[in-house]
Structure 1
Amino acid sequence: MKTINHTWRKLALTTIALLVLVSAATAVPVRTQAAVPSLQDIRVAMFMQLPGKYDQTTAAATFQSAGGIGLGVREPDGAHKWLSIPAGESVRVAVDDYKVKLLETKTFTSAWSVYQYVVSAKGTAYITSVKKNGALHYQIFEGAYKSAAESASAVSRWNADAKLSGMLGGFKPAAQGPLRLETPAYSSKAAAEAGAEQYGAAGFDAYVAVRAGASGPVYSVMIGGASTAEELKTLQADAAKAPSSASLKPVDPTSRYMLIRPDYANTGKANDSQTLYMFPLNDMKVWLTPSGEQPISLKERSGRTYRGSFELSAFNGKLAVINELPFEEYLYSVVAVEMYTSWPLEALKAQAVAARSYALNKGLGFQIAHVVDTTLSQAYNGTGVEKPSSIEAVEATRGVVALYNGKVIEAIFSSNGGGMTADAKEAWNNEVPYLKSVPSPDDVSEKGLYSWYRVVLPSGQLGYVREDLVTDSGQKTSAGSRILELTADGTNIRKHPLIQEAVPVVAQLNKGARVVELEKVMESNPMRWIRGPFTSTELLTTLNLRVNPKLTAPITALEVSSRGVSGRATGLSVNGAELTLASPDTIRSALGVGGSLPSTLFDIEETGKVVILGAGGAQSTKSDESRKVYVMGADGKSAAYNGEYLYAMDGDGDIRAASKGAAFEFRGTGYGHGVGLSQYGALSLAQQGYDYEYILKYYYKGITLAKE
């Protein structure tokens, strides 16, 4: 097994102050350059489908503002307001596309049960209602399909669902499309609602629709929901028996309108609905803007509130939700999410310039949006996270960007460089002149943390317990290991030295229980961490999600086959064979059981591997369960050892827990890809008194800073 030489890393950390003093002399002030790029408004995608790049979709988007919302459309000549949504009232928006009508019933409880089942089955579900034949009918629709063929396939799929069929009470799912008939305009919304009831009384699905008029909104009624031209002809023939049938005309597929329907998805109550506005599957763009000073909230993004306006459109056949806002105000949130707002202002200013440069470098990287709101671009959580310090950092650096050879850089950053940042080639196999490996003072993340003990439980299990939850019992095992005693009831013994919901609890012990100490380690943190041990089966599962051809044989040997200039793993071998991975950075996810490894700067311990010294100095190696270890008892008889762990003492008196079968533990440093700015490194440098210009130039080699 290859290991990292940690000596140079310790030297790098201790000499960082000297390095920064030498480099500080080269710092130059920010200067203005005519070619500096700028951006007035940024477009941030919350939901959209962009194959191969971003795929987060929602059936509908729910908006609300304490100051009210203006709802309308956005055209090439600007935004046009159609309606005013009152303060505090929620409004939902979706695409009027192709769907499957799964159920129509007069019983809300039946409809709600079907709706919940479809959601649990990962379907795109809607629950709405329509007045028809003198009664209120609840309808369940599924899907956001862009063609009749797609919706027809969905009908077959849902018809094959035996559980759903049993819930439908004989109702037969059918395709539903956006091909409808429409009346002329009515004199008012109330008149249109009365007209819809008339068509409903004749047995038609009838909905009020709104359009833009010369002096305000204009309302009409649309009936039906055909998915093909043939179905539309049938609808026209049936509609000939309806009142005022001569005035019904097919809806122009290129026209701008919004259907107005009640929606129960968020309330779950028959007597409490929200208004759903559905716009056509064409190039129409719905535009929502705050009526007052209060921001708009988006329920499907955890109810967060956002500056600026929202644009909704049909993109690649799915609902796209874009937040458009002033670029610098977008950074208020990014800085607050990406870095602790309690950190020194110079660190926050460095983050502001990096975030600004990154976004400018990407351009319209998502076709209809510059960035997305997740860490695929930069985390952006709206106004709720903004703090005075994050706003100050943005305003103090307003317009400042990082350039290399006159072009704005891709200002990559990560949480913690692990003592040495990565070269871009170590992460993604590409050379970038300003993204080079540098020593980084990242151990500041360990300040104030507890140590943890790795312990053996009375049951024979292994786990970690925090140092403040145990005390020395004053006793030792025959091998000299300390026996610790728990000081509180209900103490969780965890698989990793970290309190997190995702970290499994091995056992729970009460006050007075005794455990045997194996080692003392630092609490896992962005600088230093432990993961595993993971079994061969666990690693096979996660590796086979990333490699092709798939691995079939049990993993008995796992090694880092190559490392980059910072010591990060750039290659892996399994059972002596090299793995083919998309990029070195994918090693993190390829080896992550229950979540990616924090970084690729790690060592691997084969916990099932034991070298046993036999008679005459002969050595024997055990790496998995295929070889038995025999233990001789006091009676001189030997027997196969069947415990979960074999505890072996080396020549230095250190005790190691060797697993029964093949398993692998990862101990590493750093958090993230490690390329570019290290956020904890920026914190340390700022604490040492360095300004944001120096911090940026230290992590991005050869750059200049310029202001528009």
Structure 2
Amino acid sequence: MCGGVLLGSGASALNVRVLVASAPQLTVRVAAPAPATGALNVPGPPATTPLPVQAWTVGAAGAQLTLNGQSTGSATLYLPPSAGSAVEIAGKTYRGGVQLRAEKGGVQGINVVDLEDYLRGVVPAEMPASWPAAAVQAQAVIARTYVTARINPATPFDTCATDACQVYGGVAAEKPQADAAIAATRAQVVAFGGKPASTFFSSDNGGFTASSGEVWGKDLPYLPAKADPFTAGGPRARWQLEVPLTRVQEAAGNAGVRVGALRGVTVTRVSESGRPLEITFVGATGSGKLTGANAGGFVRALGAPATRVTLSGLNPLVLTGSGSGHGVGLSQYGALGLANAGYSHLHVLGFYYPGTQLATLTADAGEQRPALGVQAALPTPALTPTPVWGSAPQDVVAAGRGATP
């Protein structure tokens, strides 16, 4: 999987490779015991006694890596994970091991980590761990599903550590409540057609989920547009934004609208979920339109946290909207509402990914490829919510994860 080095004893049957850093050079620190001979290409016999923390500065010279200024003669270096191992990469501590790659004159630091340990650094970075267990458990399952679908030994790494993929904070992000949710749902993934489903999610769908088709132009049967009575109480449940005409004109021009000085901007067609599918621009030299995902892109370019909006006025252009994020799939504030109403994490998943199944994750230890075991239909909740809201919930960390399908 990584430079031909076998996984150490005690490692999981399924690891994830996460790109966590990329720079001209990286500092890697490893706690005792020292790695076995050949790991990180460090010369000398295997250590027989624990050694103090060791640090290596890894750089690149052409297509090869350097270690503390000396050429390694290799484009990759690999320290395999072992039971309880941890590594510091560019100042952040991660469980597992590390692979280093020369890439375009720099170094990529890739954390190689057990799937369940990886989730410990993801789930609390995506949802407050203090939320009800059912909500956090649902987040754990969709996070596991998201990364499972991306494990591919033929690529340099499986996923990244930023919101372009899933936020992964390593050891510093871990929380006991999130650890408990991960353990309670161990190996559970959402499946469709015998494969991991595309478990997109956002912070707050504004009371109506968006379909994958209207946002990305790709319809998936389990990501439809539908009313969501469970999403309520979020800090951006209702909002208004005033945008000066100069910024509106600039955003329209950047989107390819060429109509001269703007005289009107109007939503002329909406999707089933109430999001603009067509925006018409009238200007001094003519008129133009933005449709589909381009219409939503224009709204986001104006600084809107979501695209479930109405437009009025012109200078300023007033956006009145609801929600935060793309609105496809699970709504985190909806998961909170379902959990407060007494529903389990399975009901949360069944509501936001209708027609999917709960599956058990297994792996081919030889190929490091995930496979799905026994599957069962997910339950769906009643459509009349009975949430019990306590104190105002903490805002979620992410506005909308999985920005592209």
Quickly name the TM-score band, shorter chain normalised.
Answer: 0.7 to 0.9
State yes or no: 1:286 paired with 2:251.
no
Q: CA offset at residue 604 of structure 1?
A: 1.5
TM-score, structure 1 length as denominator? Answer: 0.45
Question: Quick one: distance in 1 between partners of 2:68 and 2:155?
Answer: 30
Q: Cα–Cα, structure 1 residues 397 and 82, in superposed 2: closer, same or farther, change >3 Å?
A: farther
Q: CA offset at residue 412 of structure 1?
A: 0.8
| 1:413–1:675 CA contact under 8 A, matched in 2 | yes
Matching residue within 577, 581, 590 for 2:288:
577
- 1:375-403 per-position Cα deviation (integer Å, ceiling 9, x unaligned): 21111111111111111111111111111
Give the aligned partner of residue 58 of structure 2.
93
Give the aligned partner of residue 260 of structure 1.
68
For 1:58, the aligned partner's letter is A
Question: Quick one: distance in 1 between partners of 2:134 and 2:210?
Answer: 23
| 1:67–1:294 CA contact under 8 A, matched in 2 | no
State yes or no: 1:404 paired with 2:192.
yes
Q: CA offset at residue 422 of structure 1?
A: 0.8
Q: Cα–Cα, structure 1 residues 704 and 404, in superposed 2: closer, same or farther, change >3 Å?
A: same
Q: CA offset at residue 358 of structure 1?
A: 1.3
Give the aligned partner of residue 680 of structure 1.
333
State yes or no: 1:707 paired with 2:360.
yes
Aligned pairs for 1:498-647 (under 5 A) are 525-531=235-241, 533-545=242-254, 547-548=255-256, 551=258, 553-575=260-282, 576-579=287-290, 583=294, 585-592=296-303, 597-606=304-313, 608=314
Q: CA offset at residue 286 of structure 1?
A: 1.4
| 1:309–1:325 CA contact under 8 A, matched in 2 | yes
Q: CA offset at residue 360 of structure 1?
A: 1.5
State yes or no: 1:41 paired with 2:41.
no
Aligned pairs for 1:55-454 (under 5 A) are 57-65=22-30, 67=32, 70=35, 81-82=42-43, 87-88=52-53, 90-97=55-62, 258=66, 260-261=68-69, 279=72, 284-288=75-79, 295-299=86-90, 303-315=91-103, 318-364=106-152, 367-440=155-228, 441-445=230-234
| 1:67–1:293 CA contact under 8 A, matched in 2 | no
Aligned pairs for 1:453-492 (under 5 A) are none
Question: Quick one: distance in 2 between partners of 1:44 and 1:539?
Answer: 38
Percent of residue pairs identical? 30
| 2:212–2:220 CA contact under 8 A, matched in 1 | yes
For 1:295, the aligned partner's letter is A
For 2:169, the aligned partner's letter is N
Aligned pairs for 1:659-670 (under 5 A) are 662-670=315-323
Q: Cα–Cα, structure 1 residues 257 and 59, in superposed 2: closer, same or farther, change >3 Å?
A: closer
For 2:68, the aligned partner's letter is I
* Equivalent position SS for 1:306: strand
* Equivalent position SS for 1:605: strand
For 1:603, the aligned partner's letter is T
For 1:590, the aligned partner's letter is A
Q: Cα–Cα, structure 1 residues 600 and 279, in superposed 2: closer, same or farther, change >3 Å?
A: farther
Q: CA offset at residue 93 of structure 1?
A: 1.1
TM-score, structure 2 length as denominator? Answer: 0.75
For 1:94, the aligned partner's letter is G
Question: Quick one: distance in 2 between partners of 1:92 and 1:571?
Answer: 53
Question: Quick one: distance in 2 between partners of 1:94 and 1:257?
Answer: 6
Q: Cα–Cα, structure 1 residues 544 and 60, in superposed 2: closer, same or farther, change >3 Å?
A: farther
* Equivalent position SS for 1:556: strand
Question: Quick one: distance in 2 between partners of 1:584 and 1:278?
Answer: 52
Question: Quick one: distance in 2 between partners of 1:668 and 1:366?
Answer: 43
| 2:267–2:279 CA contact under 8 A, matched in 1 | yes
Q: CA offset at residue 707 of structure 1?
A: 1.6
Stretches of structure 2 lacking an aligned partner (at least 5 in a row): 1-11, 362-405
- 1:545-579 per-position Cα deviation (integer Å, ceiling 9, x unaligned): 4x23x647233312223211110122322224103
Question: Quick one: distance in 2 between partners of 1:554 and 1:279?
Answer: 60
- Cα RMSD (Å): 3.0
For 1:680, the aligned partner's letter is Y
Question: Quick one: distance in 1 between partners of 2:153 and 2:274?
Answer: 32
Stretches of structure 1 lacking an aligned partner (at least 5 in a row): 1-37, 48-56, 98-145, 147-255, 262-276, 446-524, 609-661
Q: CA offset at residue 583 of structure 1?
A: 4.6
Question: Quick one: distance in 2 between partners of 1:366 and 1:598?
Answer: 36
Q: CA offset at residue 278 of structure 1?
A: 5.4
Q: Cα–Cα, structure 1 residues 584 and 703, in superposed 2: closer, same or farther, change >3 Å?
A: farther
Q: Cα–Cα, structure 1 residues 337 and 674, in superposed 2: closer, same or farther, change >3 Å?
A: same
**Higher RCO structure, 1 or 2 (CA under 8 Å, sep 6+):** 2
Q: CA offset at residue 318 of structure 1?
A: 4.1
Q: Cα–Cα, structure 1 residues 290 and 663, in superposed 2: closer, same or farther, change >3 Å?
A: same
Question: Quick one: distance in 1 between partners of 2:359 and 2:248?
Answer: 47
Question: Quick one: distance in 2 between partners of 1:435 and 1:399?
Answer: 22
Larger Rg: 1
- 1:308-351 per-position Cα deviation (integer Å, ceiling 9, x unaligned): 11111123554222111001111111111111100011111111
Question: Quick one: distance in 2 between partners of 1:259 and 1:379?
Answer: 29
Aligned positions, number: 341
